[in-house]
Structures are given as structure tokens and as C-alpha cells.
Structure 1
Amino acid sequence: MKAGFWVAPEGEDAAMTVMPIDAEPPTATRRLNYLATASAEEMIRRCRRTAELLPKIADALAVKKADEPGTLFDITDFPEDDRELVSQTLGEGEVAGVVALQNGVLAQIQEAVMAGVWRIRFTSTDGVLLADYIEVAAIPAAVREATSALPAAFAVGEPPAGAMNVMPVLHEIGERVAGYSDGDAAHTITFSLLPMSPDDMGFLQATLGPGPVQLTSRGYGTCRILATGVRHVWSVQFYNAMDTIILDTLEIGGTPSVAIAAEEDFRDSETRLREIEEAYFR
């Protein structure tokens, strides 16, 4: 069995996830260079809804606070060329993922190259687009909506015969979840420092269960963030270039900070977006 909390027990290779999350996004450089091409110039000339949208996004970034609800811009009814131009202009940044909402809708989320700006596509389970939004926020509202519906308590059965330390770990998780309030610092349990047997990990995984959110951050290396089936409990795993787990943790708290845009990110993103608008859309 490979190391890692979110690895299926009994030697199976498949992780418990909603859908694959390991696709490498295009680089920001390729995205932004498109705007300097002749084809982009023609597209910009006819896609005036995109030109009108960009300063509104920049205005939202200028005043956004990290703890505020997101500001939404509905682009569902934009012409296809406008929505493609929005994609090319915003690019694809470090964080992407999928959220399974209670009503069966999937939210596909992608951070722009400007941190704090998110593209959210709501789709049915068979991939039909239902809605398309740009959101200015620390993290998209869909993430908080899905995880807030999770139970804040969990039942613990009898551990398997080969268990070593899983019961104290579950007790620690239960205490931290019960005592957590919004805004508290996250509490981290590092499995790399604990002697946890495969039986321990399998029982822990089965007890907490899979959750509705999975995110990937590709800032410095790859980090995969998965909600468990218990509110405020997250699997946060860091990988090296060989896709081997080098740090395997559980965090008890709000959405892990590695996926969240900070307040200074909003101001930097505002500046960057206004520069793009000035250079290509005026």
C-alpha cells in the first residue's frame, strides 16, 4: 500500500475522488500571449461584452475583502466567442477542482492567472453546461456551500485487529471538530510523523468517508486538497515531481489556506487586470 490518507485500502490504486484532478493546466504565458495575436485582435474588436466585463471585475477586486462573500458575474448567455475570449484573457492559474453539490450539480472551478478571480462552470453529471460564472472571492462559494452541509460528528466502530494508533487520532479529530469555530486557526495532524499501519489508514478513511470537494494547487509542486465526509476535516497532501506523497496531513479547520486567495492578491490582481485591459481592450 502506498503512503497517503486518500489511498484506497487493500492495495487498490484508485484514490477516492469525485473525478480526475491531475490534468496539467495550460501555462499562463501561453494564455496571455494569445491576446497579442492578429486573431485575438479581431476577436476583441467584436467581443464587446468581454471588454465591458473586465473593468467590472477589476472594480470588484479593488474593494474585495478576504472574509466577504464573493462577487458574481454571470456569463452564461455571453456569445461563444465572448466566453472563449474571457477564457483566454483570464487564463488558468494555480488552483482548480470540482465540487459536488447536494442537488447533483457539479461545479468545475478554475482560478485565473489573477489570484482571487475564479471561473465556475456548473454542469449536470453528464456534462451539460447549466451556468457559467466569474467569481471574485478568496474561494468560490460552491466550496463553502458543499462543505457546510456535511455532518459535524461521526460514529466510530470497532477498529480492525491490526490497528495501532487510529483510535487516538479519531478522538483528536472529534475533539477538534467539536471545538472549532469559524476563523480559528487550522489544526494539523501529520501522518508522516505517526506510526500508522495500513489497517489504521483504512479504518480512518472508512470512518471519515469521502467528501464533496477536491482541489489541486500547483504553486510550488502539487498539493491535493480533498474534503472528507466530516465538516471542517480535510486531507491535504503534497507531492514531488514523481507524484509521490512527501507530506500527508489532515487539517481541521476552514478551507485550507493553500487554496485560498489572500487580501493582497486581490490588489495585485486588480493591477494586473487593468494592465491587460489597457493594453488590449482600449
Structure 2
Amino acid sequence: MKAGFWIAPEGEEQPVNIFPIGEESLDAAHKGLTAAGALAKLATLDSAELARNCPNAIVLLSQVADSIARQTSDGPTQLFRLAGLNDLERRLIDDVLGEGEVAGVVALPGGSLAQIQESVLAGVWRVRWEADSQHDYIEIGPVPEIVTRAAADLTVPDFEIGAAPEGIMNALPVLAEIRERTLAWKPGTRTQTINFTLLPMSPADMSFLQDTLRNGPIQLVSRGYGTCRVLATGVRNVWSVQFFNAMDTIILDTLEVGGVPVVALAADEDFEDSAVRLKEIIEAYFT
């Protein structure tokens, strides 16, 4: 067992199970091409052929590029549905966007999942709901809206602190501090962090803490300069944020009280850079 607020089940090394978008084969029975077949066809096309075979995808990418340039970190997200694209166009979108640093899942009511994958263009996301092809879209923003909505709608605003079991050292004052900060926090105020790496917390403390706060509906992984795993707890605005080294050992274990942790968010400079990069790709390959 690894120490930390989030403890992986016995035999599991990854607390977040991510299903990358765009890797599975398409259903040939009603979609015509497999993913491999679509990519193979794309590889044989020059820019003129791409314009003829994937006009809707190229128009959409141009619209996305223009929209990224207008996006700000504090503005509403912008959404582009993929329902009108054919299979070749969808594969072209996947090939252009690729997979970036942040991925995750959101547990939805009814037991289904929304899969999230940031593209190689920071601030441009692919979002797809399981078993619902109509919810397959590109979203531009700091983080997909479904993350912020689930964090607000599928968590509770307050929690009770039960009787402490045997072996508890510091969990009760820590939970009291978390509850006080949670009830006082408002959007726009500074995120507050509790660092378990520096606190003398026993295994019994951490177990009681997790049992009290519970796991929430959102799991995110950022794989930038290291691995960071973000888990929404069952309490609104309380997040477990853990940083790991190359040996999958926790080097920083925290709880954050605030909005979606900044490690998972795109910033204004990301939108500026992504808009330039996408326009360069369009000019190089499709014009």
C-alpha cells in the first residue's frame, strides 16, 4: 500500500483508469471504416485530396483555431460537436489534435462515464460520453465544463465528522480545518492547501480522513514534467492532489480547498500558443 490520502486498491498501481479517446477501432458495421483504415487512407492523401475528402473537418479546425484565439481563462468554454463528421473526418481530427498532458474521467449519474483528453494543443479538449455518440465534441477552455459542473452538482457542500476510531492522532483537527475552509471558500478567492507530506498523519488518520470525505466523481491525471493525480472528494471544493516520481512514489500529497486545481487548467498563454500552432498546421497541410 502506498501512503497518501488516495490509496490504490491492493494490486493496482494507478488510482485513475483512463481510456484515451480515439484509440479504439470504429464499428465497421455502421461507420464504414476502422480507425486503422481511416488513418491509412489519410496517409495517402495530399492537401487537395484532404480538402475534397474532409471538408467539414477542415472547416471545423479553422473555426476551432479562430475560437482558441478568443478564449480566456475566465471566460465560458466553447464547444464544437463532431456528430456531423464522417469517419475519415473524425480520424483526421484525432490525428491533428493528438493527446496532450491531461486526461481523466467524470462519473455521471446512472453509472456512465465522460472521458476527457486534452489535445497536444493546450486548452483544446476531446470529450466523449460512453454509450452516447451525440456527446462527442471538442471543447475549448481551461477545463471541460462537465468537470466544473460535476464538481458542483455531484458533491455535497458540508460533511459531518464522526467519532474518531482508535489510533487517531491528528485527523480530527485536520478535518475541522478542512470543514471550516470549505464552508468559507468562495469562487475567486485563493486556493488553500493542506500538505500531508509535512504533517504527522498515521495510517489510521488517513483512513479516517478518506472515509469521511469519500471519493468524488472526477479523476484527472496530468503527465507533464511528472505525474500528478487529481481526485475530487465527495465534498464540494475539496480535492486530493498528489505528485509522483518516476518510481510511482508519492513525493507530495495534498488536499486543496478551492476550484479545479490549477495543475489541470489551461492558462491564457496556452490559448495564445495553441491558436498559433493550429493555424500553422492548417496552413501547412490543408491549404
Matched, 1:20 2:17: yes
User: What stretches of structure 1 of length at least 5 have no aligned partner?
Assistant: 27-33
Other structure's SS at 1:176 match: helix
SS in 2 for 1:196: coil
Residues 5-44 of structure 1: pairs in structure 2 closer than 5 A: 5-7=5-7, 12-14=10-12, 20-21=17-18, 38-39=43-44, 41=46, 43=50
1:98 paired with 2:105, answer: yes
What is residue 88 of structure 2 aligned with on the other side? 81
The aligned residue for residue 139 of structure 2 is 135
The answer to whether the 8 A contact 2:104-2:219 is kept is yes
C-alpha distance 130-38 of structure 1, shift in aligned 2 (>3 A): closer
Distance 1:133 1:22, change over 3 A: closer
The separation in 1 between residues aligned to 2:105 and 2:78, in whole angstroms, is: 19
Amino acid of the structure 2 residue aligned with 1:236: V
Q: Percent identity?
A: 54
Q: CA deviation at 1:12?
A: 3.6
Equivalent residue number for residue 29 of structure 1: none
> Structure 2 CA distance, aligned partners of 1:15 and 1:154?
29
Q: Secondary structure at the match of 1:193?
A: coil
Change (3 A) 1:245 1:196: same
CA distance in 1: counterparts of 2:193 and 2:110, whole angstroms: 31
| Post-superposition offset of 1:131 | 1.8
2:191 maps to 1:181 = no
Deviations for 1:141-179, whole angstroms, at most 9, x for unmatched residues? Answer: 000111101111001111111000000110110011000
Amino acid at match of 2:188: G
- Structure 2 vs 1, CA of residues 15 and 233 (structure 1 numbering), >3 Å: closer, same or farther? farther
SS at match of 2:104: strand
C-alpha spacing 1:155/1:40, structure 2 compared with 1 (3 Å):
farther
User: How do residues 94-133 of structure 1 correspond to structure 2 at under 5 angstroms?
Assistant: 94-124=101-131, 129-133=133-137
Could you tell me whether the CA contact under 8 Å between 1:22 and 1:216 is conserved in 2? no
Shift of 1:15: 7.9
Supply the distance in 2 between the matched residues of 1:16 and 1:171 (Cα, whole angstroms): 30
Specify every segment of 5 or more residues in structure 2 that has no aligned partner in the other structure, as ranges: 24-38
RMSD: 2.3
Whether the 8 Å CA contact 1:16–1:210 is kept in 2: the answer is no
Q: How far apart in 2 are the matches of 1:192 and 1:229?
A: 22
1:85–1:120 CA distance, 2 compared to 1 (3 A): same
* Structure 2 contact 125–139 (Cα < 8 Å) conserved: yes
Aligned partner of 2:244 among 231, 239, 244: 239
Q: TM-score, normalised by structure 1?
A: 0.88
- Give the letter for the 1:135 counterpart: E
Hey, what's the Cα distance between the residues in 1 that align with 2:223 and 2:7? 20
Distance 1:204 1:40, change over 3 A: farther
* Counterpart residue type for residue 171 of structure 1: A
CA distance in 1, matches of 2:136, 2:274: 21
Aligned partners of 1:236 and 1:248 also within 8 Å: yes
1:52 matched to 2:55? The reply is: no
Given the alignment of the two structures, is residue 280 of structure 1 paired with residue 277 of structure 2, yes or no?
no
Partner Cα separation in structure 1 for residue 114 and residue 133 of structure 2: 10
CA contact (8 A) 1:99 1:143 kept: yes
Q: Distance in 2 between matches of 1:103 and 1:65?
A: 33
Note the C-alpha offset of 1:130: 4.5
1:197 maps to what in 2? 202
Residue of 164, 170, 177 corresponding to 2:169: 164
Equivalent position amino acid for 1:4 in 2: G
Deviation at 1:185, TM superposition (A): 1.3
CA distance in 2, matches of 1:12, 1:22: 21
Tell me the distance in 1 between the aligned counterparts of 2:134 and 2:80. Answer: 15
State whether residues 221 and 241 of structure 1, in contact with CA within 8 Å, keep that contact through their aligned partners in structure 2: yes
CA distance in structure 1 between the aligned counterparts of 2:107 and 2:281, rounded to whole angstroms:
33
Moved over 6 A (4+): none
Normalized against structure 2, the TM-score is what? Answer: 0.87
The 3 A distance-change label for structure 1 pair 263 and 103 is: farther
